[in-house]
Structure 1
Amino acid sequence: MLNIQLAKKYAAAMFELSQEENRLPQHGAQLTQISNLFEDSRELKAFMDNPQIDLQVKKNLMSKILADDFDAPVCNFILLLIDKHRISLLSEIIADFHALSNKALGIQIVYVKTAFALTDTQRTSLLQKLESITEKTIQLKANIDPSIIGGVIIKSGDRLIDGSVIGQLKSIKKQLVANC
């Protein structure tokens, strides 16, 4: 529980700094790059999580990695996390940062599951429809799941719209069982 609260506090601090500098999208993209770097390199994550390695060695490595491609506030934030022994919370902090950033920018993440890949026309049409309903900018996270047979499942926040063939079959089965 404490880690969740800490992650939210650090994310809020980075969010406020990014907002003050009008760099929310840029800092968000850079934080995502750093998160991907940690996910892609288990060795780097293990190195950073190892309490036996001197903090200055960790900071020197991260400074070299981030030096040219990242804004100073993002670099300083990562170095602060190392100093405060909070680098292990990086993925949670970045997720919380993105939640705050998306809310401020009017962006809503919508997860879409289809049996087959959406065509560009279908994707554009779905985006336009969702944006007109929500009155927000939509970021689609599409996933292909052949087990739904056909149709679409849309999840946004705590709302779930199941328009899949398998979902409809399950609904019919439930009604038949209830009526027997």
Structure 2
Amino acid sequence: MSEIVANRYAEALFEVAEERQLIDAIETQLTSVTDTLSNNEELRRVLQHPQISADEKKALVDGLFKDAVGLEVSNLLKLLIDRKRESIINDVLEAYTLMANEKRGILDVTVTTAVPLDEEEQSDLARRLGEALGKKLRISVTVNKEIIGGILMRIGDRLYDGTIAGKLAGFKHEITSR
């Protein structure tokens, strides 16, 4: 449910950002806010505490972020506080980033392998996948030795499993379902 609500806020913010040609700047500002909140548990608790008034929370946000964010992000934060939705700021950033990347023609891909990929292998993978998908890719690589070998890719909300562990699980399912 919070994802749907976050998408609405992100869409509204993205429309404003697009009109004002501030897509990148607003994404940077949102990232700065979410990083600050992620790294400060006490601040998160204060912003989500039901007995602290909205006015006090907005004053705190103004003081903390007045030089770091523009009017658009500041207004978003205050709106989230007024509507008691402070906890969805990370979801708003995620949805906003997806919209911004769509506009830029960039696709985020998470690749999981059993062994680390060097820079050359990562760029080659990004180039080949990008050509196949007709998009520019931003790849983040993680290592998980449990997949044994092969590659696991998450592109948007799709998961492509080309791992040995995935194939073994498929074989096991086929054998047990007969």
Question: Structure 2 length normalisation: TM-score?
Answer: 0.87
Matches within 5 A, 1:91-110: 91-110=90-109
Correspondence for 1:18? 17
Correspondence for 1:115? 114
Hey, what's the Cα distance between the residues in 1 that align with 2:142 and 2:116? 8
**Is the counterpart of residue 46 in structure 1 residue 41 in structure 2?**
no
Correspondence for 2:125? 126
**Is the counterpart of residue 145 in structure 1 residue 144 in structure 2?**
yes
Where 1:162 maps in the other structure, the secondary structure is strand
**Cα offset, 1:114, TM superposition:** 0.7
Hey, what's the Cα distance between the residues in 2 that align with 1:146 and 1:169? 15
Correspondence for 1:63? 62
Structure 2 residue runs of 5 or longer lacking an equivalent are none
**Cα offset, 1:173, TM superposition:** 5.1
Corresponding residue pairs, total: 178
Structure 1 residue runs of 5 or longer lacking an equivalent are none
Query: After superposition, what is the alpha-carbon deviation per residue over 1:30-54, rounded to whole angstroms, capped at 9, x for unaligned?
Result: 2122112222222111100112112
Hey, what's the Cα distance between the residues in 1 that align with 2:164 and 2:92? 38
Question: Structure 1 length normalisation: TM-score?
Answer: 0.86
Hey, what's the Cα distance between the residues in 1 that align with 2:131 and 2:36? 36
Hey, what's the Cα distance between the residues in 1 that align with 2:59 and 2:36? 16
Aligned residues with identical type, % of pairs: 29
